[in-house]
Amino acid sequence: MTPGARIAAAIAVLDEVLSGAPAEKVLTTWARRNRYAGSGDRAAIRDHVYDALRCRRSFAWLGGAETGRGLMLGAQRASGTDPSSLFTGEGYAPAPVGAEEAGQDLSNAPDAVRLDMPDWLMGPLSDSLGDRTEPALAVLRTRAPVFLRVNIARADREDVRAMLAADGIETAPHPLADTALEVTSNPRRVAQSRAYLDGLVELQDASSQAACAAVPLEPGARVLDYCAGGGGKALALAARGARVTAHDSDPRRMRDLPVRAERAGAAIVTEETIADADRFDVVLCDVPCTGSGTWRRTPEAKWLLTPERLDDLCRTQAEILATAARHVKPGGTLVYMTCSMLTAENSAQIEEFLAASKGWTLTLSRRFSPEDGGDGFFVAVMDAPST
251 near ligand SAM (CB under 6 A): no
**Would the annotation count 51 as a binding residue?**
no
- Give least dist CB 42 to ligand SAM, A: 26
Q: Applying CB under 6 A, which of residues 54, 233, 327, 367 lies at the interface with ligand SAM?
A: 233
378 near ligand SAM (CB under 6 A): no
- Give least dist CB 246 to ligand SAM, A: 9
3-state secondary structure of 282: strand
Q: Applying CB under 6 A, which of residues 320, 328, 350, 379 lies at the interface with ligand SAM?
A: 320
232 near ligand SAM (CB under 6 A): yes
List the helix and strand counts (H, then E) for the chain.
Answer: 16, 11
Nearer to ligand SAM, 132 or 263 (CB): 263
Nearer to ligand SAM, 106 or 217 (CB): 217
Provide CB contacts within 8 A for 25, sequence distance 6+: none
| Total residues at interface with ligand SAM (CB under 6 A) | 16
Nearer to ligand SAM, 136 or 212 (CB): 212
Euclidean distance between CA atoms 73 and 65, whole angstroms: 9
Of 337, 198, 348, the closest CA to residue 260 belongs to: 198
Euclidean distance between CA atoms 293 and 313, whole angstroms: 15
Nearer to ligand SAM, 243 or 253 (CB): 253
> Is 339 noted as a catalytic residue in this protein?
yes
Residues between 85 and 144 that touch ligand SAM (CB under 6 A): none
Nearer to ligand SAM, 202 or 281 (CB): 202
* Active-site annotation holder among 55, 212, 285, 339: 339
Write the single-letter amino acid at 189. Answer: R
Euclidean distance between CA atoms 101 and 83, whole angstroms: 11
- Which stretch, 74-82, 99-107, 227-235, 340-348, contacts ligand SAM (CB under 6 A)? 227-235
**Would the annotation count 375 as a binding residue?**
no
Site string for ligand SAM, 187-226 (x = CB under 6 A): ---------------------------------------x
- Give least dist CB 190 to ligand SAM, A: 17
* Residue 10: C-alpha distances to residues 20, 31, 59, 319 (Å): 15, 11, 14, 42
258 near ligand SAM (CB under 6 A): no
Nearer to ligand SAM, 13 or 337 (CB): 337
Beta carbons of 349 and 324 less than 8 angstroms apart: no
Euclidean distance between CA atoms 381 and 387, whole angstroms: 18
Strand order in the sheet with 222-225: 268-270, 243-246, 222-225, 280-286, 328-338, 377-383, 361-368
Residues between 271 and 290 that touch ligand SAM (CB under 6 A): 286, 288
Q: Count the alpha carbons within 13 Å of 357 in the hemisphere toward its beta carbon.
A: 23
Euclidean distance between CA atoms 1 and 229, whole angstroms: 39
Q: Applying CB under 6 A, which of residues 127, 178, 250, 312 lies at the interface with ligand SAM?
A: 250
Euclidean distance between CA atoms 332 and 271, whole angstroms: 20
Given CA atoms 37, 41, 42, 45 in this order, what sign does their dihedral have? negative
Q: Where do contacts with ligand SAM occur on this chain (CB under 6 A)? A: 226-233, 248-250, 253, 286, 288, 316, 320
Q: Which residues are part of the catalytic machinery?
A: 339
